[in-house]
Amino acid sequence: MLVSPRNPLNIGAVARAMANFGLCRLRVVAPYAPPWRSARSAVGAPQLLEKALETSNLGEAVAACTLVVGTGDLTYRKPEQAIVPLPELAALVGRELERGGRIALVFGSEKHGLTRDDLSHCHCLAVIPTSPDQPSMNLGQAAAVCLYELAARANSQDSPLPGGKPLRRQPAADGPPCDSGHLDILAGLIEETMLGAGYSPRGMQPANRYDLRLFLRRMAPNAEDTRRMLGLFRRVLWRLQHPQAPRR
């Protein structure tokens, strides 16, 4: 997935790398119209560019995904998510595929990468180990490197997940993972509940929403966990909104 790409050559390069590594589902979030038009009409553009889906925001684009991996370097950001060095990503992705999950790999715009808000939709941030003197990679090259790593290693079960801050993921026995769309529904319901309960003033709403997204992704509930929490918060909210309704 590309968030607001600006250079048609880079869009084309990402599409080509996807074709090279056998992927076909490209999504573009809030693209700038001229470069997007120009990339799609380029001579020799891979077919997957034609079929790419457009959405206006990242939350919608990743709604069906169970593991959303942001990408970027750490020069200007200190993400609150787990940081996964790219050589360790394949093991994580392999396990997620094994338990029936759907994965999104998200690249920010060439100008500033993923924003703090974009990152709040991500379960973790994959970082390509680059030189401190020149950490920032070209978008098309970064995509090629990430897709190569996943294509070459995601299916090999021998890749361990050594060291580093571990990303907590339920083992496969814990049932199918929860997709981002349901996490967002839950987050929305919790937010309404907070307001309904007078938990915090309306001015705090954006900050709370951001923290909540991160929290839910860090917890990584499975689909069944989420279903239960939804049921709980629906009930709580209804009660808050109908204080006079007779108790069962």
CB of residue 46 vs a copy of itself: minimum separation in angstroms?
A: 7
Nearer to a copy of itself, 131 or 244 (CB): 131
Strand blocks (E) in the chain: 2-3, 27-29, 53-55, 67-71, 82-85, 103-106, 124-127
Give the CA count within 13 Å in the CB-facing half-sphere of 73: 18
**Tokens in use for 190?**
């919790």
| Biggest CA-to-CA distance, the chain | 67
CB 107 within 8 A of CB 2: yes
CB of residue 59 vs a copy of itself: minimum separation in angstroms?
A: 30
CB of residue 130 vs a copy of itself: minimum separation in angstroms?
A: 5
Segment holding 85, helix H or strand E: strand 82-85
Nearer to a copy of itself, 9 or 83 (CB): 9
CB of residue 83 vs a copy of itself: minimum separation in angstroms?
A: 15
Nearer to a copy of itself, 162 or 243 (CB): 162
Nearer to a copy of itself, 18 or 216 (CB): 18
Amino acid at 73: D
Q: What angle do CA 64, 227, 230 make, to 5 degrees?
A: 100
CB of residue 6 vs a copy of itself: minimum separation in angstroms?
A: 16
Applying CB under 8 A, the residues found at the interface with a copy of itself are: 9, 13, 16-17, 19-22, 46, 86-87, 128-131, 133-138, 140-142, 144-145, 148-149, 151-153
Amino acid at 30: A
Nearer to a copy of itself, 32 or 148 (CB): 148
